[in-house]
Structure 1
């Protein structure tokens, strides 16, 4: 199993970043537009379509407003993983900024490289979206 971990500063208030992240059915509009091109919700599962054509079914395991944390597991779609579990957190940083922490555990280990590349792209889009102020509810 491999672990991918990213911890980045975002020049936006934690409440704003959390608002966009917790709106888990609107990732394609509020958090990562262009990187995620579609999101559909079926009960506790969101079907996420990425710009590269990858589609994953993500079971929302936990959504915690007190800790500003979401946990999800990939339970279907085109990603050929034996195991994929991730958490995203928004923490307070200095001067009204946010720390965005994304951790993914994935198996087989061979998927770590491609998933890390996707995570880096996603983090870049999330940072740009949040810092631009374009994450308002739609």
Structure 2
């Protein structure tokens, strides 16, 4: 099993960042628009469609508002994984900023590199999107 661990600072209040992450069905609008092109919720599962055509079915494993943490597992779709479990968590930083931590465990190990590339691309979009939300209007 491989682990992809990424941390990034975001120029937005932790509650704003958490609200976007927690919006389980709004990933394509509030968190990663363009990187994720559609999200729909079907019972306990969200179906996420990425810009490259990849579709994943994700099940919430844990949702903790106090710790601003969500954990989810891929349970179907076009991504051929044996195991995929991820968590996203938001921490407060000085000056009203946030530290965003995204950890993904994946098997087989050979998927670590393509998953890391997707996470890195997604983080760029997430950071840009949430920084823009927090930016003062000109």
Taking structure 2 as the reference length, the TM-score comes to 0.96
Could you say which residue in structure 2 is the equivalent of 1:21? 21
| Aligned residue-pair number | 134
* Alignment partner, residue 66 of structure 1: 66
How far the C-alpha of 1:78 sits from its partner, in A, is 0.5
Structure 2: 5+ residue stretches without partners: none
The equivalent residue for 1:112 is 112
For 1:24 and 1:90, locate their aligned partners in 2 and report how far apart those are by CA, in whole Å: 15
User: RMSD in angstroms over aligned alpha carbons?
Assistant: 0.8
SS in 2 for 1:133: helix
Question: What TM-score, normalized to structure 1?
Answer: 0.96
Q: Per-residue deviation at 1:88?
A: 0.2
Q: Secondary structure of 1:24's match?
A: coil
Runs (4 or more) in structure 1 with deviation over 6 Å come to: none
* Structure 1: 5+ residue stretches without partners: none
Q: Structure 1: how far apart are the matches of 2:5 and 2:63?
A: 19
Residue of structure 2 equivalent to 1:100: 100
Query: In the aligned structure 1, how far is the partner of 2:77 from the partner of 2:23?
Result: 21
Report the alpha carbon displacement of residue 43 of structure 1 after superposing the two structures with TM: 1.2
